[in-house]
A and B are shown apart, each in its own frame.
Chain A
Amino acid sequence: MDSSAELTALVGVGILLTALFLQSESFVGPLVRGIALQSLLLGVLLGWLAWTQQSVDLALLAVLAVAVRAGFIPWVLGRQIRAFRWRLREVHAAQRVTGHALAAVALAIVAWFVFQETLASIFPQPGGALPFVLLVEGLLMLATRTNTIVQVIGYLEEENAVVYAGALFAPHFPLFVEVVVFLDVLGVVLVGVILSIQRDVTGTPEGSALEELAG
């Protein structure tokens, strides 16, 4: 493996480590900082690929990753946390965080093997399994957490995985689609923030109210 591929794989491993960190964390503040770090690493990776491939498209995506995902969105989520301090810790997750972390590691290993057995011959790039594993980790986070902000973080991780896969496997994937993926996250975050504020006004449905959503 040449040094360029080594560096790409190394940053990819860093991204995966942030994903595992997110699974083992129940405090919302560190989770927001964790996803910012992951997005920053993704930006670095995109920047490096842009440099090695002399690709303006990838360079633009690198700037967007850093500005939108590592900067603006974590800033918005951080403001949300400061405004509603009771959300500092996801209580339910705190009780199960060891289970989450173990499940995350187990899933990462399974996803890695599945990739090696099915797609590795088609996508032989070094670290090719990493975006696939990251996608699965994002889905796990979405499925197991209940806090709105933490779910947004899971969604961001899932989309980071798609951008990562796009840069690695299909660097010429239409730019407008990738750009919209970045902007679309803003839409979901905006809806999440509005609903989150409304949740504080109306309260989370419990007991008989929640029964309306049963069945």
Chain B
Amino acid sequence: MIVTGPPLALYLLLAAPAAGATLSLVPVAGVARVASRLAALVAVAAALGLLVTAAAGRWGPYLGVDALSDLFLFTVTAIYATSVWYSDRYLRAVDRPFLTPQVYYALLSAFAFTMISALLVTDLGLMWIGIEATTVSSALLVVLERRPTSVEAAWRYTLIASAGLTIALFALLLLYTDTGTLDAVRLAAMPPATTLPVLMAVALALVGYGTKVGLFPMHTWLPDAHSEAPSPISAMFSGVLLPTALYAFLRVYRVLGTAPPTSIRDLLLAFGLTTAVVGAFLLQGQRSYKRMFAYSSMEVMGLTLTGVAIGGIALYGALLLIVAHAFVKSAAFYCSGNVLRATGTTRIEEVRDLRARLPWTGGAWVLASLGVTGAPPFGTFLGELLIVVGAVAVGEIWVAVVVVAAILLAFVGVNGQVGRMVFGESATPTVRAPRGADGGAAIPYLNVAVALALGVASLPYLTPIVRSAAVLLGGSVP
């Protein structure tokens, strides 16, 4: 079913997860699961409707969509749906969960609702509220498995993300003081003069929202929360939460028009490149595979910001990278969940010979890892390639060199470790995991297939919309 044409799609996008969250609290077994699945399906259908019709426009003073939000809405709802589907099997394996299934599904849908809200509003103040609400709605999900480390990680996440977002609010205050409005559409259509408060606002928004994006050095919550959260939530964190926070920054960045001042562009480049390189380095020495994937997300966010800073075709690459990455990274985390269930550990050195123990999951994990690190022909490869090409095209050779170095480093690090876990010989005789333990691999394969399609076939509807979104932000695509 494809729901076409706003505003029905817009209302469905908001109403479905809200209803899913509310109905999940009904204390009847199975209702939460069914309600969440239905809500996620309706949300995906509505987002797909916006995407294929390339919906653009605003409805009322606060709601509106354009190519950029269509793209992000589709990504968020798709990962929301796959996470809801994957959660059932995962929850059944959690011993003494901190949340009941009802509360878990309610918070999961509320988390999706907050992200969708942030993407649907045209007011930067409301967008900030949506992003801030993602923290409150998702923090308790991190504690599901009731480990002391997960409580610690959840608190770090809440505190660091909220503190960062307060700086983003300060940025909006500066912007409002100078321009008298927080209407993103109006500001983008008539960019204000680049006065000191406006430049400071964009710079502070980069720091504020960048905290939630996981930019270095504000990234410290990211590896903790990603590694301690249950796998479906890690998938949503990495796949869509970080990009949604980046989206909020992009809307503020857009007030500088299509040719931002060099000072701000250099600031973005500095944060982007540093984050990519630091993420690529830090993932090398990780002992936990979930933590390794968390640092890989940090590296990808750094590359994306670099693409945004370069502009032109690199911006197109950055947006393609973000969409494709959401699918492969979520697949990688779903596989991590299967491995954790079967082996009981997240330690890399204690996991070997998955090829024999969990053949389906092992296969999906290898594919997802290749996709995450930009191997051809995944969409991530195309995205990263375009960022490098974009850097070369504008004569920023050193930027291209650093980007390639970060990509190679991450590729070797992630695939080396996953390769060892899947193909490495176990010291003890390998026993194939009991039937059912390898189940739940269909969802990772589905997500891997989407990322592959983005690279190989460039989904016929998605490519034009990525192009439109890039053009909207000042990029150009030949």
* Residues in A lying within 8 Å of B, measured CB to CB: 118-119, 122-123, 135, 138-139, 142, 148, 151, 154-155, 158-159, 161-162, 165-166, 169-170, 173-174, 176-177, 180-181, 184, 187-188, 190-192, 194-195, 198-199, 202-205, 209-210, 212-213, 215
Collect the chain A residues with CB atoms within 8 Å of residue B184's CB: none
Interface membership of B186, Cβ < 8 A: no
Query: Among residues 168 to 192 in chain B, which have CB atoms less than 8 Å away from a CB atom of chain A?
Result: 169-170, 172-173, 176-178, 182
User: How far does the alpha carbon of A192 sit from the alpha carbon of B177 in the complex, in Å?
Assistant: 32
Q: How far is the CB of B200 from chain A (nearest CB, A)?
A: 8
Report yes or no: B173 in contact with A215, Cβ–Cβ below 8 A.
no
Bound complex: CA of A198 vs CA of B151, how far in Å?
Answer: 7
A169 to B169, CA, bound (A): 14
Inter-chain CA distance A166–B166, complex, in Å, is: 12
Interface of B with A (CB < 8 Å)? Answer: 98, 123, 125-126, 128-129, 132-133, 135-136, 139-140, 143, 146-149, 151-155, 158-159, 162-163, 166-167, 169-170, 172-173, 176-178, 182, 195-197, 200, 223-224, 227-228, 282, 285-288, 291, 346
The residue in chain B whose Cβ has the minimal distance to the Cβ of A205 is B148
Measured in the bound complex, the distance between the Cα atoms of B125 and A108 in whole Å is: 28
The docked-state distance in angstroms from the alpha carbon of A24 to that of B85 is: 51
* A78: min CB distance to chain B, Å: 20
Pick from A162, A202, A209: contact of B166, CB under 8 Å: A162
Give the residues in chain B near A148, CB-CB below 8 Å: 155
Query: For chain B, what secondary structure do more than half of its interface residues adopt (helix, strand, loop), or is it mixed?
Result: helix
Known: A142-B163, A188-B162, A194-B140. A169 touches B173 (CB 8 A): yes
B152 touching A204, Cβ below 8 Å: yes
List the B side residues contacting A198 at CB < 8 Å: 98, 143, 146, 151
State how many angstroms separate the Cβ of B41 from the closest Cβ of chain A: 28
Q: A162-B170, A195-B154 are in contact. Are A177 and B163 (CB under 8 A)?
A: no
> What's the dominant secondary structure at chain A's contact region?
helix
Tell me, rounded to whole Å, the shortest Cβ–Cβ distance linking B404 to chain A. Answer: 25
Contact assessment for A162 and B149 in the assembled complex, using a CB-CB cutoff below 8 Å: no
Shortest Cβ-Cβ A-B pairs, 6 listed: A177-B125, A187-B136, A205-B148, A202-B148, A170-B177, A191-B139
The closest CB in chain A to the CB of B175 belongs to A170
